Amino acid sequence: MRSALLLLLLLAVCAASHAAIFREAPQFFNSPDCPSLADDLEKRNEKGQHHCFNHAVHVAMTLDTAYIRGSMAAVLSVLQHSSCPQSVIFHFVYSASANASSLHATVSHSFPYLKFQLYPFDDEAASRLISTSIRSALDCPLNYARSYLANLLPTCVARVVYLDSDLILVDDIAKLAAHPLGGESVLAAPEYCNANFTAYFTPSFWSNPSLSLTFANRKACYFNTGVMVIDLDRWRAGDYTTKIEEWMELHKRLRIYELGSLPPFLLVFGGGISPVDHRWNQHGLGGDNIRGLCRDLHPGPVSLLHWSGKGKPWARLDANRPCPLDALWAPYDLLQTPFSIDS
């Protein structure tokens, strides 16, 4: 009897996720000042590389049924505020065990003119390196796909903006994509040097000199990996995926941190990134990782709002318990309600 009830519950969850229907977004057009992609298109088609435009802004995101509502809202916000929306190319990474055709159809239906490509991610291989963290969502293998973008995306893509699915932009993404990386930095992101950096690692890490000396001579600051500009050529040249994996393997044995995919990035890149203005990641709007309480914006201008943390705006809106800032996310929600479907 218990097994039968469990099966019915699982079927109900699956039916609910498949029943989600998203309406079609408006079509957005480039301004007259945007560089033409026509020449790029002709050249790339000759090589069979349809998503390798020189003048494009490349955006990478993960795509799954649990967060697809957030992903669709994020895409809409990028296009709506871009001066050259037809020059934005999306690279969606999905779990290899997911239904790729369904994900493709969902995106195509809402954004029929979008330039995008889907890439399968071997989450089974990644899961062998993952240790449990303080929130189960952080342990999802797809959450680690950002460490493998250099391997997944075509080698012709030299620079990409990585975005989480729980955010919206209210500014032109081309400004973020053009952020200078300097002579050596592999990635750029907003830094937060007033955060308690030591809290991201366990006491056993800091008490072991061979580990804690990792940050010697480095002014390591916290940065959120949900918004990053990545030089994929430099990443590939430095084999940074392997460096991240080595820290994950060590963590499996010694338990040196608590928070999912973030600490390996801090270990490898902390103190060596190109800092981006804080306006490009007003993060933490989802509250902490335990309770997900409401939070206010940080002081200063806003170009990107990020509901990192436990609370997600769509879940709070559906539960009729929204936080005040969730109202800023709602206009980008493409979910078609049963009432609007019937009408």
What is the CB neighbour count within 10 angstroms for residue 190? 23
Please report whether residue 286 resides in a domain.
yes
pLDDT score for 8 = 34
Q: Contact 306/167 with Cβ under 8 angstroms?
A: yes
> Tokens 């879940």 appear where?
315
Number of H helices, E strands in the chain: 15, 11
Is 47 inside a domain boundary?
no
Does any domain span residue 342?
no
pLDDT at 291: 81
Q: How far apart are CA 67 and CA 78, in angstroms?
A: 17
Query: Could you tell me if residue 302 is inside a domain?
Result: yes
For residue 162, the domain's CATH number is 3.90.550.10
CA dist 223 and 192 (Å) reads: 6
The string of pLDDT tens digits covering residues 250-292 is: 998 889 988 778 999 999 999 999 999 999 999 999 998 778 8
DSSP 8-class letter at 36: P
Position 258 scores a pLDDT of 81
d(C-alpha 215, C-alpha 175), whole Å: 31
What Å distances lie between residue 333 and 66, 94, 317, CA to CA? 15, 21, 11
Residue 220: count other Cβ atoms within 10 Å of its Cβ.
20
Do residues 99 and 187 lie in contact, with contact meaning Cβ atoms separated by under 8 Å?
Answer: no
Q: Is residue 187 part of a domain?
A: yes
Mean pLDDT of the chain: 87
Q: 308: which residues sit within 8 A by CB, 6+ positions away?
A: 164, 166, 167, 224, 226, 283, 284, 285, 286
Neighbours of 134 (CB within 10 A): 13
Check residue 338 and give its pLDDT.
60
pLDDT tens-digit profile of 160-195? 999 999 999 999 999 999 999 988 999 999 999 988
How many structural domains are present in the chain? Answer: 1
What count of Cα atoms within 13 Å lies in the side-chain half-sphere of residue 280? 25
Q: 3-class SS at 144?
A: helix
88, 154, 271 from 91: Cα distances, Å: 10, 10, 28
Using the Cα atoms of residue 167, residue 170, residue 173 and residue 175 in order, give the sign of their dihedral: negative
Band (pLDDT 50/70/90 cuts) for residue 138 is low
Would residue 19 count as lying in a domain? no
Q: Which pLDDT band holds residue 4 (cuts at 50, 70, 90)?
A: very low
pLDDT in tens, 43-71: 554 444 557 787 899 999 999 999 999 99
266: domain range? Answer: 57-332
Helices 68-80, 100-110: axis angle to 10 degrees equals: 40
Q: Is 238 among the domain residues?
A: yes
Q: Token pair for residue 319?
A: 């539960």
Render pLDDT for 294-334 as a digit per residue (tens, 0 to 9).
999 988 999 999 999 999 999 999 999 999 999 999 999 99
Q: Is residue 1 part of a domain?
A: no
